[in-house]
Structure 1
Amino acid sequence: MTSLNLRNVGVVAHTPLFQNLNLAIGEGDRLGLVAGNGAGKSTLLKCLAGVIEPTHGDIVRSRGLSVALVEQDVPAPLLDLSFHDVLHRALPADEREGQEWRVDMVLDEFETPEDLRNRPMRALSGGWQRLALIARAWITQPDMLLLDEPTNHLDLEKLFKLESWINTADYTAPIVVASHDRDFLDACTTRTLFLRPEESIAFAHPYRRARDLLEAHDASAQAQREKTLREVKRLRQSAQELRNVGINSGSDAAQIKSAQIKRRADALEQTARVLHRERPGEIRLGNRGTHARLLVALENVTVEAPDGRRLFMIPKLEVAQGDRIVVLGRNGAGKSQLVQLLHRAMLAPDGLPGIRVSPSLALGYVDQDMRQLPDKATAHDFILSRFRLGDQRSRAVLTEAGFSIERQALCIARLSPGQKARLGLLALRLSEPNFYLMDEPTNHVDIPGREQLEAEILEAEATCIVVSHDRSFVTAIGTRFLLIDKGRLREIDGPEAFYESILG
């Protein structure tokens, strides 16, 4: 049964985000929505929810269809409400009385700890805020659920919990998911829509299989375009030869035939579509190099929580040039605290007790929330003042990174999370480090950007310590894996056993 139909739907914002989109979404569908940052995923979800109207076309909904949209940010009016009250107030006003059991049932379904249930939303971690918004939508029992980047800020435990919940949810209402997490899309979707400005393309497969089919589709389209353009060239040569014959011989018939062939060539050229090109923006990591073999050494170091609690002990750890270390551990184990401790040690002139840092180490640091970016500055002013490239070069590198001239002039606070992430990674590149310390560097980065970052890390032979919940990213770059477990840091062969322990 079809719940919603899109007929020639398009949205224009300065330029088309998407157009001529025809799509049916029905019972049991699990649709993955894939596109680059700023390419229209959130806009399409809002159109599906009825929050905004498309520029062109029609969206036809089944009579009485209820749609719940889970956006990326917590609405301001909810920040001071408790987790419990956020769910309770999501119920229709005339149904709230005597319905506490429904709230408790959903909190149990999401395995929410008791001590979080009455905590204000602003005091919850980013991951629990995401799950709270999903639970808030779910409790209304919608006929269609729309999820915008649901895995952002989720640690692996919550990510697996969300995957399991989507796959075992006891209902057949359709779910539409916009996400950059390749493994999550493969685990939770059965269809994929690649959203494009010219021609959006859908396949009845999860992401990776659909992407293979998309690449085959694009290769076929490219071959057809080249064939068409060769024919256009041949026709124009024929038209020119006939025109010359007509001029030299005074033959009107040859001139008329030449004009006819030229019109055929012009019409055929119009059918040779300009093919879609992803523009992830250039996230190129520099590596200024160092002759030091050992860049960081830790011995008998204790990592503590902000309140002074001991989290874990590091008996000994050496980071050599070329190591790409991935730090694993359950939520709260201390991964981010380790990154912050190393960050302080690398900025201190003489390191910190138990931590030795090579004098030749040049640090490149990425915070998962991009807090190192000045909110009040524009992207252009930030790059210009920080790296002193000159006005023209600053604009050029921002354009290469996917920032239009209009976006370069916006305050950083007004940029989308994905654009902030891209700006932070650009700044990382321009600082030309030889050591990368990165806490969730792919947060909010689109799939082409993640793959570009993976390629650049490998190509630059970067030395790095990384915390990441992106399983594809971890597999692509990791050469060493450290697990924080039971108050100690130990090296393991790979991440698979850790992932299985979370699932178990």
Structure 2
Amino acid sequence: MGSISLRNAGLVATDTLFSNLNFVISDGDRVGLVAGNGRGKTTLLRAIVGQGELTSGDIVRSRGLQVGYVEQDMPKASMGLTLYEAVLEALPSADRETDSWRVDVVLDEFEAPEAMRHLPLNQLSGGWQRIALIARCWALQPDALLLDEPTNHLDLGKLYQLENWINQAARNIPVIIASHDRQFLDATTNRTLFLRPDTSHYYALPYSKARAALAEADEAAEAKREKDLKEVSRLRKQAAKLTNIGINSGSDLLTVKSKYLRERAEKIENAVLSLHKERSGEIKLGNSGAAAKVMLAMENVDVTTPAGDKLFRIEKLHIFQGDRIVVLGRNGTGKSQLMGLIHRAMTGSDTPGVRVSPQVVPGYVDQAMSFLPSKSSPLDYITGQFDQGDQRSKSLLAAAGFPVEKQERPISEMSFGQRARLGLLALRLLQPNFYLLDEPTNHVDIPGQESLEDEILSHGATCILVSHDRSFVRGLGSRFLLIDGKKLKEVDGPEHFFVAMSAETS
């Protein structure tokens, strides 16, 4: 029987990340860990595994419990290893010769093709690098499993495969999953911890049901807060009235009673709950508008690899103003190549078969936010690229979740979540009317995803979207294109594709 207990756990960095945290996770418990970017998820996981310390409280693990921790990134020193070697490297050096069979067993579990096992990690996709991280951990046969953003860079097929694996291979041990993928949390967890600075909330429910319970708790807390503040106001008015009467009448009794009422008001005010607000930063977009009805037209266009190999053909496609198009397809079918081709056509490259309205102002975001200058600081980038002025740039960055003291640090030192928010701020400042979004929610927290979705919907922006986030796809798409059989065809919705991908991995 394995268990991990947190007792009055707290951690203070620049701000309080969490405090007075108490919960127990045992065999069969699969906990979704939910919080905004930079609000303590990774820090808590590191503390549980013994790679960091709390500011207060204790973490108690069952005697002899071996905790496996899957971090967000492969160590740079391992990137030159083959997939097989990278998993083997995780085993104790003394056991690698005798226990190498474990590597094959684990890679079989994740259906890694034989040829791929002998390719260097730096030649594999981000999704396979993520699978390699999980395989390295699982080869050690842990008694508990901690997963930090396991779905980032996974295509839909691998995402379904990971869901099945967690629900089968890891179903009998304690599991904690830090993730921003709402559908994934619903599919893999049976408990949810909402990590907050003051009062965290722990529910024996998967994410969506827990989110509803949290909303009820927050609503009740808001009602109690308003009631308490009204009582504080009433007591102070009464105290002031008694003070005036006491002074005019010379009554010491009324003065004492007035003091008592003020002290009671202060006590209630000090106990009033400070309601939690997500402080990961706002995401704002816009739509500079256009009069054109057809924003983009494509006819008899071949989408190819960088080497020129044909991936699929577009026979005829018109994209109208206000369309929110989701591109579906298996990994490697050419979704990102399509986005790149359209972006090149919109930025002046001669692309046969593609007609772009002269009114189009494109805004393009790729998966890696590669347009961000890593050696620059956020402040230098925003002031230099968008001519916003120093004070205006500082205000924009602060609103996007960058405190003043972090605005001049190199972008290369920022977390992936911070880079995503900086990239989306830059997208806003371009003032586009046509968005090209290739996996825009990678590393963006749940409030940020919902804000991005709301912004696109409320501004009526035209966009083409590639995403593995099923909740985001369902909430945003108005038209759906599927790459299948080396052709692009329009389909009624994403559900048949989702079902087909799920069936392939079950």
Superposed CA deviations along residues 218-274 of structure 1, whole A, max 9, x for unmatched, are 000111111111111111111111111110011111111111111111111111111
Higher mean displacement: 419-428 or 79-88: 79-88
User: 1:404 is matched with which residue?
Assistant: 403
The answer to whether the 8 Å contact 1:301/1:354 transfers is: yes
The answer to whether the 8 Å contact 2:145/2:173 transfers is: yes
Letter in 1 for 2:150: P
- Give the 3-state SS of the residue equivalent to 2:165 in structure 1: helix
User: 1:212 is matched with which residue?
Assistant: 212
The answer to whether the 8 Å contact 1:34/1:178 transfers is: yes
User: 1:422 is matched with which residue?
Assistant: 421
Distance in 2, Cα, partners of 1:96 & 1:299: 55
The answer to whether the 8 Å contact 1:11/1:56 transfers is: yes
User: 1:460 is matched with which residue?
Assistant: 459
User: 1:149 is matched with which residue?
Assistant: 149
User: 2:230 is matched with which residue?
Assistant: 230
The 1:320–1:338 alpha-carbon spacing in structure 2 relative to 1, beyond 3 Å, is same
Letter in 2 for 1:146: L
Distance in 2, Cα, partners of 1:194 & 1:33: 6
Deviation at 1:93, TM superposition (A): 2.8
Deviation at 1:101, TM superposition (A): 2.1
User: 1:8 is matched with which residue?
Assistant: 8
- Give the 3-state SS of the residue equivalent to 1:114 in structure 2: coil
- Give the 3-state SS of the residue equivalent to 1:322 in structure 2: coil
Matched, 1:186 2:180: no
Query: How do 1:94-243 residues align onto structure 2 when only pairs under 5 Å count?
Result: 94-169=94-169, 172-243=172-243
Matched, 1:277 2:312: no
Distance in 2, Cα, partners of 1:162 & 1:2: 23
Letter in 2 for 1:190: N
Query: How do 1:82-93 residues align onto structure 2 when only pairs under 5 Å count?
Result: 82-93=82-93
The answer to whether the 8 Å contact 1:3/1:27 transfers is: yes
The runs of 5 or more residues in structure 1 that have no matched partner are none
Distance in 1, Cα, partners of 2:169 & 2:337: 35
Distance in 2, Cα, partners of 1:357 & 1:4: 57
Superposed CA deviations along residues 157-188 of structure 1, whole A, max 9, x for unmatched, are 10000001001116511110000000000000
- Give the 3-state SS of the residue equivalent to 1:318 in structure 2: strand
User: 2:369 is matched with which residue?
Assistant: 370
User: 1:392 is matched with which residue?
Assistant: 391
Letter in 1 for 2:372: L
Deviation at 1:369, TM superposition (A): 0.3
Distance in 2, Cα, partners of 1:170 & 1:357: 50
The percent identity for this pair of structures is: 58
Distance in 2, Cα, partners of 1:201 & 1:295: 46
Letter in 1 for 2:59: I
User: 2:249 is matched with which residue?
Assistant: 249
- Give the 3-state SS of the residue equivalent to 1:211 in structure 2: helix
Distance in 2, Cα, partners of 1:112 & 1:34: 30
Distance in 1, Cα, partners of 2:260 & 2:323: 66
User: 2:327 is matched with which residue?
Assistant: 327
- Give the 3-state SS of the residue equivalent to 2:115 in structure 1: helix
How many residues align? The count is 503
The answer to whether the 8 Å contact 2:2/2:174 transfers is: no
Distance in 1, Cα, partners of 2:312 & 2:265: 72
The answer to whether the 8 Å contact 1:2/1:24 transfers is: no
Letter in 2 for 1:140: L
Deviation at 1:2, TM superposition (A): 5.3
Deviation at 1:499, TM superposition (A): 1.0
Distance in 2, Cα, partners of 1:98 & 1:242: 85
Distance in 2, Cα, partners of 1:23 & 1:337: 46
Distance in 1, Cα, partners of 2:135 & 2:144: 14
Deviation at 1:121, TM superposition (A): 1.5
The answer to whether the 8 Å contact 2:325/2:481 transfers is: yes
Distance in 1, Cα, partners of 2:353 & 2:331: 25
Distance in 2, Cα, partners of 1:71 & 1:103: 19
User: 2:480 is matched with which residue?
Assistant: 481
User: 1:447 is matched with which residue?
Assistant: 446
Deviation at 1:469, TM superposition (A): 0.6
Distance in 2, Cα, partners of 1:457 & 1:164: 32
Distance in 1, Cα, partners of 2:379 & 2:61: 43
The answer to whether the 8 Å contact 2:41/2:178 transfers is: yes
TM-score by length of 2: 0.98
The runs of 5 or more residues in structure 2 that have no matched partner are none
Q: RMSD of the TM alignment (CA)? A: 1.1
The answer to whether the 8 Å contact 1:438/1:467 transfers is: yes
Deviation at 1:81, TM superposition (A): 1.5
Superposed CA deviations along residues 60-95 of structure 1, whole A, max 9, x for unmatched, are 111111111111111122112111112222222332
Letter in 2 for 1:405: V
Letter in 2 for 1:318: H
